Every structure is written in structure tokens, then in C-alpha cells.
Amino acid sequence: MSYLDKRGSTLVRLLTALVLVPVVFGLVMVPGLRIGFVLFAALMAAVGLWEYFGLVRALEIKAAPVPGMVFGMALVIAAGWHGKHGVPHPAMLSMSFIFAMGMLSLGLVHLFFDRQTLAGLAASVLGVLYVGGGAAHVVLLHGLAPSLVVFLLVTIILSDTGAYFAGRFFGRHKLAPRVSPKKTWEGAIGGLVAAGLGGVALYFMYFQISRWMLVVYVVMALLIAAFGQFGDLMESMLKRNAGIKDSGSIFPGHGGVLDRCDGILFAAPALYYLVLLPRMLF
């Protein structure tokens, strides 16, 4: 790629981010847009599942993309139903019911519609859990407190940015060469450092989350970044197996939904249960 091509690509990435970031953070933070946020998350899940099943098709595995997309979206919408003070019991019950019906339906599709393979059934179930379940936990986090979603997004963005620049300037030792040859240990450490510093910055900006202490901000940021990097590697493994560079092209300069949200899909469930567990125990 020439210098001018690189500059053009960087400009496209920047313009896409300048449009997308205010829209996403607006949907997250404005109280009256809760329904809009849930529907946006469901739409992103549908696109992400379409991309996921595209990777599955490239592997010549007969999955069930339409039922998978339907039940993945249903999980996200069900997660938007929560009780008083963000108590998620109704959402969990509805999600459990939809998941059970989804597994039954996927099983029936694979039994009676010429998809009688373990690989196809496993791929269909994984798509619902991976994309639908991950997106549903973003919505569950929003039900607990919109600030948790902001914390998640900011941390993942800083981790990705720190990993990119640290890997570019200091990267020497390969992290997972068979999965993603360009990722390095130095980049991974840079991402963790950037995320940790982001946690410190949010604390001193008086970005209050359940009266967390400074050490909690930092530890949570580091854990989110670690889960996010793991999610990035998992999506890279899927694409490498399918022989595809980008999962999609919905975001110019950034690729598809899975390319942008791979870390979020893994980090959101981790953050949700890390926040919820103390409330359940104490």
C-alpha cells in the first residue's frame, strides 16, 4: 500500500469514527433513548451474526443462519427488560426462555433441513452465544447503569489504540503467530497500560461508577482489556480459518461489526458478572 493509500485509509477510518462515536455514546447516555439503544444493539447483533455465518459458510459448514440471527436478536431485546433499580431477573428469565427455544429450534432445523452435522449445529449455537449473548450483556450492563457501558467502550477503545501503537513501535515478540501474525506481546502490554491509565483518568474525571475506589477502576480496566484482547484473538482465529481478512464492510475503514466489536463481545459478560457478583453476595 502506497503512502497516499495509507493516508486515505486513515482519513476514512477517522471520519467513520467521528460519525459513529457520538451516535453510540448518545444512545448510551441519553436516558430517553433506552429503547433506541436496545434496538441499535439488536441491529448490530443481527449484522454481526450475518458476518459470523458468512465465515461459517466460507468453511463450508452448513449452519442455520436465519434462525440463529432471529434468536440472537431476540436475546438482545429480551435483555432490555429489567426490573426496578436495574434488577435483571426478568431479563434473565426471558433470555433463558428464548435461549431454550432457540436451541430447540436450531436442533429441529439441523435434524430436518439437510443440515445433519455436529459441526453445523455447533456453529449455529456458537453464533447465538458468541454474538447474541455478548450483545445481550451490553444491554444488561446498560440496565444496571449506562456509565458501565461507557466505561466498557472507553476501556476497549483505549486498549485497542494502545495495543496498536505499542505493537507498531515496539513490537518484537509474536503473541499468537498462527492466529494473528501482527499481534505482539509488546502490543498486548501496551493495550493493558493504556486501559489502566484510562481507568485512572476516568476516576479523576469524577466519572462515578457505584462509588468505586481508584484501585477498582484500574483493576476493572485491566480485566476488561484482557478479555477484550482475548476476544480479538478469537475473532482473528475465526477469520484466519475461513481465509477472510475482514468479517464485513459496514464501517468504512474499520471492517465489519465483528471486526469492531470482537473485544466488546467478550468483555461485556465479564464486566457484567464482575459488577453483579458482589451485589448478589453482599
- Residue 55 in contact with residue 244, Cβ under 8 Å? yes
Pick the closest to residue 69 from 59, 77, 80 (CA basis). Answer: 77
What grid cell was written down for 230? 482475548
How high is the pLDDT of residue 281? 62
How high is the pLDDT of residue 250? 84
Amino acid making up residue 119: A
DSSP secondary-structure letter at 255? Answer: B
Asked whether the CA dihedral 219, 183, 12, 135 is positive or negative, the reply is negative
How many whole angstroms separate alpha carbon 134 and alpha carbon 123?
16
Q: What is the largest CA-CA distance in the chain?
A: 58
- Residue 62 in contact with residue 120, Cβ under 8 Å? yes
**Hunting for cell 449445529 — which residue is that?**
121
pLDDT tens per residue, range 6-38: 444 667 778 887 888 899 999 999 988 999 999
Pick the closest to residue 37 from 67, 103, 70, 82 (CA basis). Answer: 82
Pick the closest to residue 190 from 173, 204, 212 (CA basis). Answer: 173
How many whole angstroms separate alpha carbon 70 and alpha carbon 226?
30
pLDDT tens sequence for the chain (282 residues): 444 444 446 677 788 878 888 999 999 999 889 999 999 999 999 999 999 999 999 999 888 889 899 989 988 998 887 644 445 556 666 666 676 676 677 777 766 666 667 788 889 889 999 999 999 999 999 988 899 999 999 999 999 999 999 999 998 999 988 888 889 999 999 999 999 999 999 998 877 776 789 999 999 999 999 999 999 999 999 998 988 888 888 887 778 899 989 999 999 999 998 998 776 665
